[in-house]
Structure 1
Amino acid sequence: MSEQRVEAVERALKILEVFDTPQEAFTLAELAEATGFYKSTLLRLLASLERFGYVTRGADGRFSLGSTPLRLGRRHRPGRGLAARVQPVLDRLCQESGETAALLEVAEGMVNCRLASLPNTSLRHELHPGDHWTTDTTDTPAQSLSGGFMLCTALSEAVAGATNLWLSLSGPGGRLKSAQAEALLESARRELASSSEHSEGASS
């Protein structure tokens, strides 16, 4: 099959590649410098990307990723085996704590929510698969929440196939004691580690 290229599509994809960075928004001049495109060309391509929700333009004129990449990203999940083990644990963690429980993945300075379980209350941390934020530390991928908290525990060393994955509990500040949240997270981590060992034993 001969190689086929659509120049306009490749230019649009080159623009989207610029957003693969901790910087969340770009001016037209910054995009022009990053892509090498003329501003007039950029504006035409950005108009199409904005129409389909791939980018959005703020009141300050800067461009950021729109809702479409996030919506498509929510279709990506961890391997079925890992997801099947983790989701029930998240559901129990959510029920026992009354807070949002999630599986987070850290890669190249970005934290991505892969799985989540939300409590049945209006006052909660809204966190869904596909949500993401930047991090500048390897100590914890916790998101900074105004008036709230997020505690995390790493799965990487305890669960097979869980490289760069973390469990988290998050919600309004003061509703769940730190010590209780840490104990629940540790219990969930041990449960997943145990199920991982059993799974490895069964397959060996």
Structure 2
Amino acid sequence: MSRRPDPTRRSEQSRQAIVSAAVDLCVEIGYAATTIEAIAARAGVGKQTIYRWWPSKAAVLLEHMTRVRETQIGFPDTGDLRVDLLAQTSAVQGLFASDTGAVWRGLLIAALSDDVAADGVRTLLQAAVVEAKGRLATAQKTGELRADVDLDMVVEIIYGPLYHAWLLTGRPLPEAYMEEVLSSVFDGLRP
């Protein structure tokens, strides 16, 4: 007796193939040159299969970024704020230097003119800011951080240099970049 194929399994395989194809193309040829047609051809599916799950290439790539955020980026709480900030910002710096960095850069640029990209980027960034502010609030309660600092501003002070250097200068960042940034600002944040 032969078994009927499981359409759920096949759909998940197609879904994974589509996301992988979109990421690979974005890394190889850039966000702007990546098209739904190219993603479909690389994944071995029809365009209608892609549009069944996502409204655009931005939505496909945002799914990848959401998975990355859920599995690779987190905010530790060892009880030492500076150690935790260094670990988390170094992880972000490493992500920027990886293939996923090319995807994120493309989405950030697309967010300027694409509502789907803008909403997705905003959602991912807001989740990251909430997580960072949660760790900073804990540091305020334990006396590691001045009680009067604006946590939104602290997040901008810490992550601004990383985004600036990565997006605007295009220069390779040394491994110790975030350690230097934190050293430059940390004394002003202490009580």
Give yes or no for TM over 0.5: no
More helix by share: 2
- TM-score normalised according to structure 2 size: 0.42
- TM-score normalised according to structure 1 size: 0.40
